[in-house]
Amino acid sequence: MIKDIIKVRMKTLSGSKKKIDSKTNIQTSGAKLAIEGGVPLRKSWLQYSRQTIDDSDIASVTHVLKSDFLTRGPATEAFEIAVANLAEMPYAVAFSSATAALHAVMAMIGVRPGVKVVTSPITFAATGNSVLYCQGEVEFQDIESETMNLDPRTLKNLDQVKAVVPVDFAGNPCDYDLFKTLQKKHSFRLISDAAHSLGATYKGKPAGSFSDITVYSFHPVKSITTGEGGMVVLRDREEADFLRVFRSHGICKTNTPGFYRQEFLGFNYNITDIQCALGLSQLKRLKTFVAQRTEIAEQYNEFFSSFESVSIPVETKNCRSAWHLYPLRLNLEKLNCDRDRFLTALQAENIGANVHYIPVYWHPYYMNLGFTRGLCPRAEVEYEREISLPIFPGMKAQDIRDVCQGVKKVLEAYSL
């Protein structure tokens, strides 16, 4: 099912397949930046990402609203089965968010005081937070400069690590063969934070099928959405059973009518059938969504590849990204501004570029725990030159053109 995702090509992205030429088609030379009092390139704000909802989604949700179950019902089970099949994994357990899912996984594998988990610093804070929720020790190790994924070639001190959690940054899968080799040597649990990469492939197979456990996100800016929501896909039935109890207060049902018992302290992390109905509907268009994101990324790649002052994203060998993000990197040595100034100037043109991510250990909370800058030098360098350009299925041809024009305008203004 998933092998042909990137081969799907939409015949219409409102005409967006038309080539955008970096030298002749877009005229920005001499234009005064909006940040300096010029006229903004766009009249309205273009966000970096958003959900795409159609009538079939609304109908699916409405059907559940008229049904007997709004939560913990058949739509949740159907969504779990559909995602498990997509990921080519035997079991799936849905949660109220990917953060809740990560927390549940850490509890399940036995993270507790003194237990270490390694992950990337270039991720949303939830990845590290999930370890701390269980009072474990999170250890950030450095990334590959090209992909911004956790670098398996430089991981160290793994013999005492409970788990390694690579993050498929921007939707681009990690090199799972290398992680699996390390796992065989050091016997840690391999847990994929695939919040960005539903619909991505590694060697022609779903990216989430290579780890022991994979966690997906269905936030509105992801490949598909349930509003808020997450999913764990995994191989072990007993672990799946634990996750289902964990998300329901730690309470188990019994065969005695009206009687149940709490086995441990769990949480109310249930997702609703309303959300899962939306997810089921969205899942039918996953191939289309990923193909549209890929189409936009390819246009950006073609346009920006001729600029010496930026570097386009690099996909892992034998991978197909889901293109959750388009992380353009500034070659700051060729510009007379830093990334923050560049981003501010681009946003003043009403291009809603963003940054992903501040290294987690730079956050004040983590600094208060004793983390310091300089811990992961490559991550810090790449963070300081990364900007995420708008990319989402609902973008029109003019939106894509505006992004290219806006970046070119700011590059021309700040180029040395």
Reading across the β-sheet that carries 326-330, which strands appear in turn?
310-311, 326-330, 386-389
pLDDT at residue 238, rounded to an integer: 98
14: region left, alpha or beta (phi > 0 left; psi from -120 to 50 alpha): left
For residue 315, count CB atoms less than 10 angstroms from its CB and return exposed for 0-12, middle for 13-18, buried for 19 or more: middle
C-alpha 216: how far from chain center: 8
DSSP string, 99-142: HHHHHHHHHHTT--TT-EEEE-SSS-THHHHHHHHTT-EEEE--
The one-letter code for the residue type at 357 is: Y
Alpha carbons within 13 A on the beta-carbon side of 411: 24
Cα–Cα distance for residue pair 322/288, rounded to 1 Å: 11
In this structure, are residues 14 and 394 in contact, taking their beta carbons and an 8 Å threshold?
A: no
Angle at CA of residue 126, ends 122 and 131, nearest 5°: 100
In this structure, are residues 10 and 295 in contact, taking their beta carbons and an 8 Å threshold?
A: yes
Token representation of residue 332: 């700051």
In the CATH scheme, what is the code of domain 55-283? 3.40.640.10
- Of 189-203, 250-264, 314-328, which range is least confident? 250-264
DSSP string, 278-339: HHHHHHTTHHHHHHHHHHHHHHHHHHHTT-TTEE---PPTTEE---S-EEEEE-GGGBSS-H
Token representation of residue 346: 């681009």
In this structure, are residues 126 and 98 in contact, taking their beta carbons and an 8 Å threshold?
A: yes
Residue 13 confidence class, pLDDT cut points 50, 70, 90: very low
Q: What's domain 5-49+286-414's architecture?
A: Alpha-Beta Complex (3.90)
- Of 11-25, 116-130, 200-214, 391-405, which range is least confident? 11-25
Domain ranges for the chain: 5-49+286-414, 55-283
Token representation of residue 377: 């030098």
The stretch 222-247 carries a mean pLDDT of 98
Residue pLDDT, tens place only, 362-407: 999 999 999 999 999 999 999 999 999 999 999 999 999 999 999 9
Would the pLDDT of 4 be above 50? no
The one-letter code for the residue type at 182 is: L
Residue pLDDT, tens place only, 39-55: 999 999 999 999 999 99
Residue 5 confidence class, pLDDT cut points 50, 70, 90: very low
Cα–Cα distance for residue pair 81/90, rounded to 1 Å: 9
| Percent of the chain scoring above 70 in pLDDT | 93
pLDDT at residue 268, rounded to an integer: 98
Cα–Cα distance for residue pair 87/206, rounded to 1 Å: 6
Cβ contacts of 306 within 8 Å, gap of 6 or more? 22, 23
Residue pLDDT, tens place only, 324-369: 999 999 999 999 999 999 999 999 999 999 999 999 999 999 999 9
DSSP lists the bridge partners of residue 201 as 206, 320
Residue pLDDT, tens place only, 111-145: 999 999 999 999 999 999 999 999 999 999 999 99
C-alpha 372: how far from chain center: 25
DSSP-derived letter for residue 350 is: T
Name the 3-class secondary structure at 217: strand
For the chain, the residue count is 416
pLDDT at residue 141, rounded to an integer: 98
The stretch 6-28 carries a mean pLDDT of 47
What is the phi/psi pair of residue 216, to 5°?
Answer: -110, 160
The one-letter code for the residue type at 104 is: A
In this structure, are residues 103 and 125 in contact, taking their beta carbons and an 8 Å threshold?
A: no
Residue pLDDT, tens place only, 99-110: 999 999 999 999
Place of tokens 């570029």: 353
Cβ contacts of 368 within 8 Å, gap of 6 or more? none
DSSP-derived letter for residue 71 is: B
The answer to pTM > 0.85 is: yes
Place of tokens 């050091």: 186
